Structure 1
């Protein structure tokens, strides 16, 4: 077993303090000592290091009658870095900008018209409003090859082409990473949604596109070519599954019929992976609510002895955008915080 060097120990302590400030907000030096278990001199040194690095600052004082160094509240420097989450749909581009604490500071949306490369750049710059970006994560339909970050199938987005993300990155001058949009929605469910606290689940995405994302042992599983979870291609009862649960069809179905169709797709994951939890997301999931989840659960019990809980998505707003921002923040904090 290797012994940690002084430099490594300092880096570990610094990251521990930064993560606590992210989770809990501004803290005093005594509070940091209590939460970390570190000594007074060690906490004093790390506070000084983090202030000199421009990562934390004094944000106020704790307690009405207290004064002095022990009353000072230290918080993260929110504008130390900014990230962009981007959701590219078939008809529009949506962008959210967040600071390093995760606070949303800008957003913009435009319909797709003209050059997609120029449009994505323009919407990002509009939302950023002059803020320098550290990382951009873009979610889009289609199979995204984990090896080169390129879409390997037609995603029906007007103007999409191979090399598009590299071109956008060159225009912006920052790292740009592409991810399948359902995978990003699953990250949002895992971190802040219906799957929070669960290490194994499948997100069944029923919206303007039909797909799924697989999370096992707390990790997103993409597959060799990025095709893990592409349930829409599966043939069920002689027809592609995506054709049976797409929005235009769903609007004409009764609740029981819809639950039965959803369960047929979910059963594929239950039989092969036994994830224990299916999250029904997208517009269909939100519209159906807990009643739909209960009906899907009943249909699954009829098909499989494996106990499987069914929940509807609890992420409010655009789950793809939120997953993109969370992913971008992970990368940026890793670089900035060390």
Structure 2
């Protein structure tokens, strides 16, 4: 083996050990050896190199409390979580929610800012739409959450951003006739990448799927979907263990529902609930003293209406049955296209959809040709996209951490 081959093997083994450590928690060298099929000397050399770079910490040696009994105490290691931070952003139309976590994924702070302008404030007929608005909002959100965590931009290794637009594998969105998609993105990949080492921009529903696959209901599944059901419908699709985007990022857009009877649009459950309740009030179908009686005008929200709805209540049952039929049809359609094992229903109101999900499962069971997909509610509520953005930021950081810290270490050595 020549020196170049030896260097490549050293780099490969060091990268493999870092990948193992990234989500392992505390571990011993023998765990690395067994998982990666390395020799003890190779594993220990890689671990010592990662310690020198500041990416791995050596923990106190294992004693009886860690299951070690005989001979020399085993060396114990852990990813050095404080070596940097990652930031995830849910970049909605009206507000940006930013979450900062350490390299191990522990949440340190979360902040929310209002966007300077939402899409309704933008005139799509204008000859030039200011494409700097949303990148500026992203930086404001990042700076706010870093300040809350006591960190700075220099500490950031990775940034993940979820936007309400299709996004391809390079972080770009296609042109939309109204200008909405390109405004929502506004070149975020390039602008943020000029400031931070690793950046990943994705569709918001795709990041909901990332969160469910890494942290939530879909852990252990290779074929699953996450469907956001709030103000609009959108989905993230994992097949064979990989996020599927399509040529232009449009796989999860669900625009095809405009051709499906009983669905018709990508409008989410939220607007339908609010419209239904207002119409029920107008028809005098909500009795005085009913929990819905106080929900009128500005107080009508889907979350509040669903929180007190029940199949046992004759006033609320018709709405739940309608929503169950609609969600069942949605799940049947996407199941026929993607054949997922599991569909996770996500968003702020997902936790209030217990009866609706049960009805939807019944429709899917009755109509499915293939074995029916499971349908479950996410437990992450309105935080789903920002959590997915954190997971995406950690994945992006993992891919460049070794090269980044090696370059920093060489720079440090050159001046000392």
User: Which residue matches 1:260?
Assistant: 325
User: Which residue matches 2:138?
Assistant: 120
Q: Taking structure 1 as reference, are residues 285 and 307 closer, same or farther at Cα in structure 2, changes over 3 Å only?
A: farther
1:135-154 matched pairs, under 5 angstroms = 135-146=158-169, 149-150=172-173, 152-153=175-176
Is residue 145–residue 152 contact of structure 1 (8 Å, CA) maintained in 2?
Answer: no
The CA deviation at 1:113 is 2.6
Secondary structure of the corresponding residue to residue 90 of structure 2? strand
Runs of 4 or more consecutive aligned structure 1 residues displaced over 6 Å after TM superposition: 64-69
Secondary structure of the corresponding residue to residue 240 of structure 1? coil
Deviation track 1:2-22 (CA, whole Å, cap 9, x = no partner) reads xx9443443343344334433
1:87-126 matched pairs, under 5 angstroms = 87-113=90-116, 115-126=133-144
The match for 1:163 among 187, 211, 214 is: 187
1:315-334 matched pairs, under 5 angstroms = 315-317=379-381, 318-334=383-399
The match for 1:310 among 374, 387, 392 is: 374
Of Structure 1 and Structure 2, which has the larger fraction of its residues in strand?
1
Aligned equivalents of 2:161, 2:322: Cα separation in 1: 35
Aligned equivalents of 2:171, 2:100: Cα separation in 1: 25
Deviation track 1:73-110 (CA, whole Å, cap 9, x = no partner) reads 32222232322111011221111112222222232111
Is residue 165–residue 185 contact of structure 2 (8 Å, CA) maintained in 1?
Answer: no
Q: Taking structure 1 as reference, are residues 277 and 76 closer, same or farther at Cα in structure 2, changes over 3 Å only?
A: closer
Is residue 193–residue 313 contact of structure 1 (8 Å, CA) maintained in 2?
Answer: no
Secondary structure of the corresponding residue to residue 59 of structure 2? strand
The CA deviation at 1:323 is 1.2
Superposed CA RMSD in Å reads 3.1
Deviation track 1:263-284 (CA, whole Å, cap 9, x = no partner) reads 1222221222322322222234
Structure 1: runs of 5 or more not aligned: none
The match for 1:80 among 72, 80, 83 is: 83
The CA deviation at 1:37 is 5.2
Residue 21, structure 1, aligned to residue 21, structure 2: yes
User: Which residue matches 1:336?
Assistant: 401
The CA deviation at 1:56 is 1.4
The CA deviation at 1:167 is 3.5
* Larger Cα-atom Rg: 2
Is residue 86–residue 158 contact of structure 2 (8 Å, CA) maintained in 1?
Answer: yes
Aligned equivalents of 2:134, 2:367: Cα separation in 1: 45
Mean Cα deviation higher: 82-91 or 312-321: 312-321
The CA deviation at 1:45 is 2.1
The match for 1:202 among 215, 219, 225 is: 225
Is residue 344–residue 377 contact of structure 2 (8 Å, CA) maintained in 1?
Answer: yes
Matched positions, count: 332
Is residue 335–residue 373 contact of structure 2 (8 Å, CA) maintained in 1?
Answer: no
Secondary structure of the corresponding residue to residue 324 of structure 1? helix
Aligned equivalents of 2:116, 2:340: Cα separation in 1: 41
The match for 2:205 among 178, 182, 189 is: 182
Q: Taking structure 1 as reference, are residues 304 and 94 closer, same or farther at Cα in structure 2, changes over 3 Å only?
A: same
Structure 2: runs of 5 or more not aligned: 118-132, 277-317, 404-416
Secondary structure of the corresponding residue to residue 353 of structure 2? helix
The CA deviation at 1:292 is 3.1
- Length-normalised TM-score, structure 1: 0.85
Residue 294, structure 1, aligned to residue 318, structure 2: no
Deviation track 1:203-231 (CA, whole Å, cap 9, x = no partner) reads 22101331122211111111222111222
Residue 134, structure 1, aligned to residue 157, structure 2: yes
Mean Cα deviation higher: 313-322 or 154-163: 154-163
Deviation track 1:136-192 (CA, whole Å, cap 9, x = no partner) reads 22111022244561353358699746335534444x354443211000101111122
Is residue 81–residue 104 contact of structure 2 (8 Å, CA) maintained in 1?
Answer: yes
- Length-normalised TM-score, structure 2: 0.70
The CA deviation at 1:286 is 2.2
